């Protein structure tokens, strides 16, 4: 059984193919998914979808790239997220994807963007800590700031999602928190992602999760196609290739890791 811990099944044409992609997913032994949505209105949709299917879990979310939209109403926004959570405690398993993204930030905007994203990051951490929810961390061109904020807030229960950094960063995060998990996407299957493959082969097995981040980042065998939850099996296959443990042990440990971080009972 495989748990695709990060899907955006409302994006692109996936939303019109809901039944088909959920069927494909079952055929590929993907037993559970977490659906990640992009803002306050779609967080509601996420919960709706999760209520429809017992193998779908929801997240509530404000992406670092979107914090500017809520810049002037931080408290109100966090209160809204909290309200959504409290009404749907049994379906919401995480606060997603918090952190920093400086990928498209120009030099002159860097300070302002950093401050704004940090305010949201800290507020979302506080919300996750209040309810002991997993915090899914998105970090792009911002390794040091991400670790700094996690450490300053004593945030321990987090997932480094769509991991694309190096071994040094992975070790620092794992050394800081024994609750940290590292989630690998299709990136680990790309021939030029040597650093990411090295991380997947070296870190302890009980720290690993798999995800698709669909519709983005289709694994190498499906490259340039629309990604979907079924393709999480390629990510897992690559991790099995990279590691020395028996395939069955890898599979069942990664499944266990996913249930554990989201507090899901089998």
Asked whether position 213 contacts Zn ion by CB under 5 A, the answer is yes
Nearer to Zn ion by Cβ, of 32 and 251: the residue is: 32
Among candidate residues 134, 190, 188, 189, the one with its CA nearest the CA of residue 163? 188
Please state, as a whole number, how many other Cβ atoms lie within 10 Å of the Cβ of residue 90: 9
Rounded least distance, CB 214 to Zn ion, Å:
9
What's the CA gap between 44 and 130, in Å, rounded? 21
Count of residues binding Zn ion (CB under 5 A)?
A: 1
What's the CA gap between 189 and 192, in Å, rounded? 9
Nearer to Zn ion by Cβ, of 165 and 213: the residue is: 213
What Rg value do the Cα atoms of the chain yield, rounded? 17
Rounded least distance, CB 135 to Zn ion, Å:
14
Considering only the stretches 17-25, 81-89, 206-214, 256-264, report the one whose residues sit in contact with Zn ion under the rule CB under 5 A.
Answer: 206-214
Q: Inter-axis angle of helices 232-242 and 194-202, to 10 degrees?
A: 70
Backbone angles phi, psi at 224, to 5 degrees: 75, 5
What's the CA gap between 147 and 155, in Å, rounded? 10
Considering only the stretches 140-148, 182-190, 198-206, 207-215, report the one whose residues sit in contact with Zn ion under the rule CB under 5 A.
Answer: 207-215
Rounded least distance, CB 213 to Zn ion, Å:
5
Mask 156-195, x = binds Zn ion (CB under 5 A)?
----------------------------------------
Q: Helix, strand or coil for residue 140? A: strand
Considering only the stretches 104-112, 195-203, 205-213, 245-253, report the one whose residues sit in contact with Zn ion under the rule CB under 5 A.
Answer: 205-213
Rounded least distance, CB 175 to Zn ion, Å:
26
Rounded least distance, CB 117 to Zn ion, Å:
16
Binding to Zn ion, residues 225-254 (CB under 5 A): none
Report the C-alpha dihedral over residues 102, 199, 191, 28, rounded to 10 degrees: -100
Please state, as a whole number, how many other Cβ atoms lie within 10 Å of the Cβ of residue 72: 8
Nearer to Zn ion by Cβ, of 44 and 216: the residue is: 216
Nearer to Zn ion by Cβ, of 81 and 250: the residue is: 81
For residue 243, with 0-12 CB atoms within 10 Å meaning exposed, 13-18 middle and 19 or more buried, which class applies? middle
Rounded least distance, CB 219 to Zn ion, Å:
15
Binding to Zn ion, residues 127-156 (CB under 5 A): none
Nearer to Zn ion by Cβ, of 215 and 251: the residue is: 215
Site for Zn ion, rule CB under 5 A: 213
């Amino acid at each position: 059984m495989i748990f695709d811990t990060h899907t955006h099944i409302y994006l692109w044409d996936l939303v019109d193919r809901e039944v088909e992609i959920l069927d494909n997913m079952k055929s590929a032994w993907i037993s559970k998914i977490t659906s990640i949505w992009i803002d306050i209105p779609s967080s509601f949709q996420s919960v709706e979808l999760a209520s429809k299917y017992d193998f779908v879990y929801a997240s509530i979310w404000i992406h670092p790239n979107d914090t500017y939209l809520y810049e002037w109403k931080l408290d109100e926004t966090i209160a809204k997220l909290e309200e959504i959570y409290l009404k749907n405690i049994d379906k919401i398993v995480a606060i997603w994807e918090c952190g920093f993204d400086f990928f498209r930030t120009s030099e002159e905007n860097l300070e302002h963007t950093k401050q704004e994203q940090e305010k949201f990051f800290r507020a979302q951490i506080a919300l996750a800590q209040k309810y002991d929810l997993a915090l899914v961390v998105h970090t792009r061109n911002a390794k040091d700031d991400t670790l700094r904020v996690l450490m300053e807030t004593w945030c321990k229960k987090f997932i480094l999602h769509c991991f694309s950094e190096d071994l040094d960063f992975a070790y620092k995060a794992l050394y800081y928190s024994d609750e940290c998990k590292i989630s690998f996407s299709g990136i680990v299957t790309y021939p030029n992602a040597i650093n990411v493959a090295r991380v997947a082969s070296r870190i302890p097995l009980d720290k690993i999760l798999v995800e698709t981040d669909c519709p983005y980042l289709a694994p190498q065998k499906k490259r340039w196609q629309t990604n979907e939850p079924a393709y999480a099996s390629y990510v897992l296959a690559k991790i099995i290739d990279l590691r020395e443990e028996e395939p069955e042990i890898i599979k069942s440990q990664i499944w266990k890791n996913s249930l554990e971080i989201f507090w899901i009972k089998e």
